[in-house]
Amino acid sequence: MNIPIRQYWRLLRTYLKHEQGKLVLLMILLIAGIVLQLWNPQIVRHFIDSALQPGISLNDLMGSALLFIAVALLNQLASVSSGYIGEQVGWTATNELRGDLAKHCIHLDQAFHKEKTSGEMIQRIDGDVNELSHFFSNFVFMLVANLLLITGILVLMYREDWLLGAGMTVFVVITIFVLQHIRKAFAPFWVKSSEAYAAFFGFVGEHLAGTEDTRANGASGFVMRRFHGLLRKMLPITLKASFGGYSMWVSTIFVFSLGRSLALLYCAYLWSTASISLGTIYLIFTYTELLNHPLEQIRTQIQDLQRADASIVRVSQLFATESSLKEKEKPLLLPEGALSVAFSNVSFSYGSEDAEQVLRQIDFRLQPGRVLGLLGRTGSGKSTLARLLVRFYDTGAGAINLGGTDIRDASLAQLRSRIAMVSQNIQLFQASVRDNLTLYNPSIPDERLYEVLSELGLDNWLHSLSDGLDTQLASGGSGLSAGEAQLLAFARAFLSDPGLIILDEASSRLDPATETHIERAIDKLLAGRTAIIIAHRLATIKRADDILILEAGETLEFGPRAALAADIHSRLYELLQTGAEEVLA
Amino acid sequence: MNAKEMSTLQSMWRLIRYRPILYTANAILWAGVHLFPLIPGLLIQQFFDSLTGQASWSLNASSLAVLLMVTAVARIMNIYGGALTDTIHRFHMGALLRWNMLQWILRQPAAAAIPCSPGEAVTQFRDDSSQAEDAISWTLDFIGKVLFAAAAIFILLRVNVQITCFVFLPIVLVISVTQIASKRLQSYRATSRDATGKVTGMVGEMFGSVQAIQLAGAEERFIHRLRTLNNQRKQAALKDRLFSSLLDSVFSNIVNVGTGLILLLGAASMQRSELTVGDFALFVYYLAFVTDFTSFFGRFLSTLQQTSVSFKRMHTLLQGAGADQLVEHNPLYLRNEFPEHLYPQHFPENTEAPFSSLSVRGLGYRYSDTNRGIANISFELQRGSFTVVTGRIGSGKTTLLRSVLGLLPMQAGEIHWNGSLVKDPVSFFVPPRSAYTSQVPNLFSESLLTNILLGLPEDRERQENAIHTAVLDQDIPMLEHGLDTMIGQKGVKLSGGQAQRTAAARMFIREPELLVFDDLSSALDVTTEKLLWERVEQTPHAACLIVSHRKAALQRADHIIVMKDGYIEAQGTLADVLSQSKEMQLLWEDEHTSACSE
């Protein structure tokens, strides 16, 4: 049995510090509740023994009965208030933890985020922390309370008869052991069943999304056949898992009946030797029954607590993960206005040292205010170059200077505020249009949003929305056409005042007519700023002053566009001549 | 929606009648499981009374203790029997609902097959079907518990009428009132669940858009928002918790209060030895079960309510289905192989006259939510034609293809195939007549080959041809296990272009007469696309209908349809549309502007 109390305490200590008063109150209420629960059977014993004795007044009995009811009600009060306070403490502490964990993670580098899906992050930040809050409520209320209750009952049993106490202690230990093992024996069936159901609903989800593909290719039969196959496989798995569940129920019935029978047998023996009163027999019977509930619960609680172990480890690991992007203690400031860009012998590889280099010895300078057209096949390292500029990653060898400052010497926040990047990868989220554009920055007035949207030709679209800027967008921008989503991503760039703009195949999803339409807007955006335009279409880079062509991570050629276009030996010239008017294949 | 919807109880009744014998056996076994606890109560009564010599049965205390064990073992056997019937029965109910839903959905116009996102629809398959299973299984517990309560009250009335009436009636009353109050709980629970959804949603969004957030330096603002939502969740959860723990404690303490009442009422009779300690033990023992029944009854009622919501949701999912569709008694073949006749799996054979023409007249479709769509679409497509639909974003190109192919329900217009009217495009436009590759094709998490075959038998020659035509032949050796590579969910292990070409191969292997593609260009480079068109030309097919704004396709076309705002702005040869249509000039012009033309 490995219950990770110490790690848990280390993790939550900070968050529970402010709640100490409540924690003390909680313990008092818990103990009070247990005492009340143990007291009530004693009242009944007194009642029975008195009732059977001649000459006791009816008022005495009535008094005991009323006391019993009062104790029951007090117990209720204690349990409700301790539940509420416990929940309050748990939520306050874990909310803080959740917030801090999210804050820690969102500042981590792209190497971290590339590995994690958002579903996984939900599981880490909400799922695991919830597990901890269950741990808290389970541990404090259930496990501690149940253990105290069991101990209390056993102590009181010893007081009645030491042999009875000893017998009950053995019974408790064996019960916990048996129930624990039965659970363990059947756990694999549960795992298998939940895996089978997860696969089944995964199948259903996939095919509900793919109805178009299924129908148009006449493949409904394939889907129904697979569905049937999954159903047939699931029936025996379901049966086994269900029998596992029932076995646990059945084993509690058996064990508790056994305990009850043995207790009654022993009581009958004590009665026959006239060493026990009828009231005491009833007391023992009640205490035996009272044991059932906590014993049954302890079994599942131990399981839950062990599960929390994994969560605690994962949460601590997350906190221990550090961004590989180191911030300088005294960052330098980047200059105002258009920024020059200089790559000095930059090499880079994702992953470890010996991984294949994505960029090799890149070396070029871009003067402030100039526009660089960056060309190359898919996988030649164009997007990587952009990611290095915004410091999603740090260069392996070499250095990048912006406005004469090494980007590692500037603060990340300032660096990114001076660069605007529009990429192919459009990230819209489930929030209002306004929040999607401003990213919760309340200082951007609505007028500015209207202005930008109309510049991008989105005013008609905006008018078609039922609630204007307050309209909620669906997650991932579904409901928008791919082109509209891309224009919204553009709009974000328009709202900032950067010194460098990176357009990473930003218009790949726009049709030529729409692209022409936003030309003017882009002109305005680029005016007085340095820009890097990554493109696979030659048409897109017609505004470039300089051209950089990458091939397999190396510079193939770099120079002013006019000069390269006129040089019959240049790759650019060749590309223009072969009429590869669309894509740089 | 249907004018006559089945009520929840009707639907449940229909489900129960799906496996009547199983249900009856189940009901009998579970009545046993619920009635068994009557016996330990009586045994305990006799135990106490045998000690004082007041027992009505002539058994000594030790044999009563042994009998307690015997009863437990018998009940255990009974439970295992019930477990078997109930699990099988529940499985059949759930499987039938899911089978009926999937079958219906696969018969609908596929682009509008479900009225919600696939993610939401999965909830209907998972949770709502289970809810219906639960409700039916609970009817058994209901029967069992009613029998137990009736028998227990009968036994107790014979012991002491006064205590039975004065203790049990108020308890039933209190619990019923609490049950009504628990409706409030549902609204607290819903608020709390919403608040939780907002928190997880926010975390998901945050980490789904982490690049955008980091680029904008908006980290702190998002965290602030998350903390606000967290706090709202805490408030909602606390309210929910307080209310539910109040209710819970009423239930758990009612036994104690009831015991107190028995003591109060029984004090005098006990002194007069009219009520024995055994009787008292019997009362307390049954009390727990009777209060359990009353709270069960309440939960059963709310389960029925939830079930009616679930049935409603499942009906909504089956838009346009008859009231009976969901619970229709269909065979599930759980003991046999899938019967071949249901959906034959072989290469579709063409038995009809070869394709000569497709004619579309006055076709229209409007999306109800955005009010956008297409209208008045008419065109002709002859054998041997290469027809290209072009236009800017949102002009209705995809809607046009979908409407023609019956992937959207037909709202206006007519379609003629070889001169005769197509009555039901939904079932008509399938291989070998036509096949379709969508703009963002869905692949399934199976092997690459299975994705291409989708149920067709393996046939080396046809496979190789299809893969060659789709220009996928170079890619396959590069994959880890070739054709047997598992391509992951939605084909994530393939590049965008590979996924699109896999979808194309899936279409080619069916050798349809009419090939329909929606914009291949976004994932294919020019060389590959050119190669693909060349290879398509060499395959046996009758006509192509594609969406594209690529020159490679437009130059090849013998007929071009230019879409604008849901209408056809112009159609004809490339020269025709270029001279007639300003829109076409715009679309075309940009393709020509290259870096050298300044």
B223·A419 Cβ contact <8 A: no
* Closest in A228, A483, A561 to B338, CB measured: A228
A519 and A552 share a domain?
yes
* Closest in B65, B91, B261 to A261, CB measured: B65
Euclidean distance between the first and the last CA atom of chain B, given in angstroms as a whole number: 60
B445·A278 Cβ contact <8 A: no
Residue B420 contacts A where some CB pair is shorter than 8 Å = no
A317 and A370 share a domain?
no
Domain boundary among A291, A321, A351: A321
Measured in whole angstroms, the distance separating CA B144 from the mean position of its chain's CA atoms is 32
* Closest in B201, B207, B589 to A430, CB measured: B201
Please give the average per-residue pLDDT across A26-40, as a whole number. Answer: 92
B486 and B558 share a domain?
yes
* Closest in A106, A392, A561 to B223, CB measured: A106
Q: CA nearest B390: which of B541, B529, B533, B585?
A: B585
SS3 A384: helix
A209·B118 Cβ contact <8 A: yes
* Closest in B76, B207, B430 to A118, CB measured: B207
SS3 B272: coil
Domain interval for residue B258: 181-274
Tens-digit pLDDT profile for residues B210-239: 888 888 888 999 999 999 999 999 999 899
Assess if residue B280 is contained within a domain: no
| Helix segments in A278-369, DSSP class H | 278-320
A317 and A347 share a domain?
no
B417 and B519 share a domain?
yes
Give the whole-angstrom CA distance, residue B329 versus residue B325. Answer: 9
Q: CA nearest B470: which of B429, B405, B515, B414?
A: B515
Token look-up 């149940």 returns A146
Residue B62 contacts A where some CB pair is shorter than 8 Å = yes
B50 touches B60 (CB < 8 A): yes
Neighboring chain B residues of A268 at a CB cutoff of 8 Å: 47, 51, 60-62, 65
Neighboring chain A residues of B98 at a CB cutoff of 8 Å: 204, 227, 231
Give the whole-angstrom CA distance, residue A371 versus residue A529. Answer: 8
B113 and B202 share a domain?
no
Q: CA nearest B546: which of B390, B381, B362?
A: B390
- Burial of residue A499 (CB within 10 Å: 0-12, 13-18, 19+) is buried
Neighboring chain A residues of B488 at a CB cutoff of 8 Å: none
* Closest in A99, A425, A429 to B227, CB measured: A99
Query: Chain A: nearest CA to B121, how far in angstroms?
Result: 8
| CA separation, residue B224 to residues A318, B202, B203, B395 (Å) | 20, 11, 12, 40
For residue A15, pLDDT over 80 is answered with yes
B256·A235 Cβ contact <8 A: no
Give the whole-angstrom CA distance, residue A465 versus residue A476. Answer: 17
Query: Chain A: nearest CA to B262, how far in angstroms?
Result: 8
* Closest in B62, B343, B438 to A265, CB measured: B62
Q: What CATH number has the domain bearing residue A462?
A: 3.40.50.300
Neighboring chain B residues of A541 at a CB cutoff of 8 Å: 595
Assess if residue A277 is contained within a domain: no
Residue A196 contacts B where some CB pair is shorter than 8 Å = no
B194 and B263 share a domain?
yes
ipTM for the predicted complex comes to 0.87
Q: Can you say whether the dihedral through the CA atoms of A138, A141, A142, A143 is positive or negative?
A: positive
Q: Residues near B431 by Cβ (< 8 Å), separated by ≥ 6?
A: A217, A218, B348, B510, B511, B512
Residue B538 parent element (H or E)? helix B526-538
Neighboring chain B residues of A228 at a CB cutoff of 8 Å: 332-333, 338
B490 and B581 share a domain?
yes
A420 and A378 share a domain?
yes
Residue B228 contacts A where some CB pair is shorter than 8 Å = no
Tens-digit pLDDT profile for residues A257-294: 999 999 999 999 999 998 899 999 999 999 999 998 88
A87·B271 Cβ contact <8 A: no
> B residues 349-408 near A, CB within 8 Å?
370, 391-394, 402, 405, 407
- The residue of B26, B454, B586 whose CB has the most chain A CBs within 10 angstroms, and thus the best one to mutate to test that interface, is B454
Neighboring chain B residues of A121 at a CB cutoff of 8 Å: 203-204, 206-207
Report which DSSP code applies to A139: I
Query: Chain A: nearest CA to B87, how far in angstroms?
Result: 6
Tens-digit pLDDT profile for residues A495-509: 888 899 998 877 666
Assess if residue A167 is contained within a domain: no
Q: Where are the beta strands (DSSP E) in A53-195?
A: none
A334 touches A393 (CB < 8 A): no
Give the whole-angstrom CA distance, residue A245 versus residue B135. Answer: 19
- What count of residues does chain A have? 585
Neighboring chain A residues of B121 at a CB cutoff of 8 Å: 205, 208
With cut-offs at 50, 70 and 90, classify the pLDDT of residue A579: low
Assess if residue A270 is contained within a domain: no
Residue of B nearest to A221 (CA): B343
B365-400 burial by CB neighbour count: b if 16+ within 10 A, else e?
beeeeeebbbbebebebeeebbbbbbbbbbbbbbbb
Residue of A nearest to B240 (CA): A84
Give the whole-angstrom CA distance, residue B146 versus residue B91. Answer: 25
Give the whole-angstrom CA distance, residue B422 versus residue B415. Answer: 6
A313 and A370 share a domain?
no
Assess if residue A394 is contained within a domain: yes
For residue A23, pLDDT over 70 is answered with yes
Q: CA nearest B212: which of A451, A443, A494, A437?
A: A437
A225·B345 Cβ contact <8 A: yes
pLDDT value of position B575? 92
Measured in whole angstroms, the distance separating CA B486 from the mean position of its chain's CA atoms is 25
With cut-offs at 50, 70 and 90, classify the pLDDT of residue A330: confident
Assess if residue A425 is contained within a domain: yes
Residue B52 contacts A where some CB pair is shorter than 8 Å = yes
B392 and B315 share a domain?
no
**Residue A356 structure tokens:** 């294949």
Give the whole-angstrom CA distance, residue B394 versus residue B513. Answer: 28
> A residues 558-577 near B, CB within 8 Å?
561, 565, 572, 576
B368 and B471 share a domain?
yes
Assess if residue B17 is contained within a domain: yes
| CA separation, residue B13 to residues A531, B9, B127, B233 (Å) | 69, 6, 20, 40
Give the whole-angstrom CA distance, residue B112 versus residue B557. Answer: 30
Residue of B nearest to A576 (CA): B596
Residue B205 contacts A where some CB pair is shorter than 8 Å = yes
Q: CA nearest A414: which of A482, A312, A306, A496?
A: A496
Assess if residue B318 is contained within a domain: yes
Q: Residues near B443 by Cβ (< 8 Å), separated by ≥ 6?
A: A210, A213, B451, B487, B490, B491, B494, B499, B502, B503
pLDDT value of position A268? 92
A65·B264 Cβ contact <8 A: yes
Residue A511 contacts B where some CB pair is shorter than 8 Å = yes
A273 touches A302 (CB < 8 A): no
B415 touches B402 (CB < 8 A): no
pLDDT value of position B289? 84
Tens-digit pLDDT profile for residues A455-502: 888 888 888 888 888 888 876 665 677 677 878 888 888 888 889 999
Residue B104 contacts A where some CB pair is shorter than 8 Å = no
| Helix segments in A382-471, DSSP class H | 382-389, 412-417, 433-438, 446-455, 459-464
Assess if residue A209 is contained within a domain: no
Assess if residue A20 is contained within a domain: yes
Tell me which residues of chain B have a pLDDT lower than 70. 1-5, 369-370, 489-490, 492, 521-523, 590-598
How do strand A359-366 and strand A341-348 relate by DSSP bridges? antiparallel
A315 and A452 share a domain?
no
A314 and A393 share a domain?
no
Residue B526 contacts A where some CB pair is shorter than 8 Å = yes
Give the whole-angstrom CA distance, residue B206 versus residue B222. Answer: 7
A203 touches A231 (CB < 8 A): no
A311 and A413 share a domain?
no
Total tally of structural domains belonging to chain A: 2
pLDDT value of position A508? 64
Tens-digit pLDDT profile for residues A370-391: 999 998 776 678 888 988 999 9
**Residue A13 structure tokens:** 């200590």
Residue A159 contacts B where some CB pair is shorter than 8 Å = no
- Burial of residue B201 (CB within 10 Å: 0-12, 13-18, 19+) is middle
Domain boundary among B274, B305, B320: B274
* Closest in A91, A208, A222 to B114, CB measured: A208
Residue A328: φ, ψ to 5°: -70, 145
* Closest in A72, A208, A561 to B253, CB measured: A72
Residue A111 contacts B where some CB pair is shorter than 8 Å = no
Size of interface A-B (CB pairs under 8 A): 454
Taking the CB of residue B78, how many other CB atoms lie within 10 A of it? Answer: 19
A446 and A553 share a domain?
yes
A261·B107 Cβ contact <8 A: no
Residue A214 contacts B where some CB pair is shorter than 8 Å = yes
B481 and B569 share a domain?
yes
Neighboring chain B residues of A106 at a CB cutoff of 8 Å: 206-207, 210, 213-214, 219, 222-223
Assess if residue A434 is contained within a domain: yes
pLDDT value of position B172? 75
Assess if residue B335 is contained within a domain: no
* Average pLDDT of the residues of chain A: 85
**Residue A324 structure tokens:** 């590989």
**Residue A185 structure tokens:** 């024996």
- Burial of residue A574 (CB within 10 Å: 0-12, 13-18, 19+) is exposed
SS3 B486: strand
Query: Chain A: nearest CA to B510, how far in angstroms?
Result: 8
Domain interval for residue A83: 1-161+307-321
B470 and B371 share a domain?
yes
B320 and B402 share a domain?
no
Total tally of structural domains belonging to chain B: 3
Which stretch of A196-200, A215-219, A398-402, A486-490 has the lowest confidence by average pLDDT?
A486-490
**Residue A583 structure tokens:** 């894509």
* CA torsion, ordered A354, A358, A364, A366, to nearest 10 deg: -130
- Whether this prediction's pTM lies above 0.80 is answered by no
A117 and A11 share a domain?
yes
Assess if residue B340 is contained within a domain: no
pLDDT value of position B337? 86
B383 and B305 share a domain?
no
In the β-sheet with B412-417, what is the strand arrangement from edge to edge?
B373-382, B357-366, B412-417, B420-421
Three-state SS letters, B460-480: HHHHHHHHHHCCCCCCHHHCC
Q: CA nearest B516: which of A204, A369, A571, A217?
A: A217
A120 and A71 share a domain?
yes
B370 and B503 share a domain?
yes
B504 touches A563 (CB < 8 A): no
Q: Residues near B568 by Cβ (< 8 Å), separated by ≥ 6?
A: B376, B377, B378, B379, B561, B562
Give the whole-angstrom CA distance, residue B202 versus residue A122. Answer: 9
Give the whole-angstrom CA distance, residue B413 versus residue B364. Answer: 6
- The residue of A76, A418, A464 whose CB has the most chain B CBs within 10 angstroms, and thus the best one to mutate to test that interface, is A76
A502 touches A421 (CB < 8 A): yes
Q: What CATH number has the domain bearing residue A145?
A: 1.20.1560.10
Assess if residue B343 is contained within a domain: no
Q: Which amino acid is at B259?
A: T
Give the whole-angstrom CA distance, residue B11 versus residue B328. Answer: 10
Assess if residue B381 is contained within a domain: yes
Taking the CB of residue A269, how many other CB atoms lie within 10 A of it? Answer: 14
A447 and A567 share a domain?
yes
- The alpha carbons of chain A give a radius of gyration, in whole angstroms, of 36
Assess if residue B175 is contained within a domain: no
Give the whole-angstrom CA distance, residue A503 versus residue A438. Answer: 19
B394·A483 Cβ contact <8 A: yes
Residue A79 contacts B where some CB pair is shorter than 8 Å = yes
B206·A210 Cβ contact <8 A: no
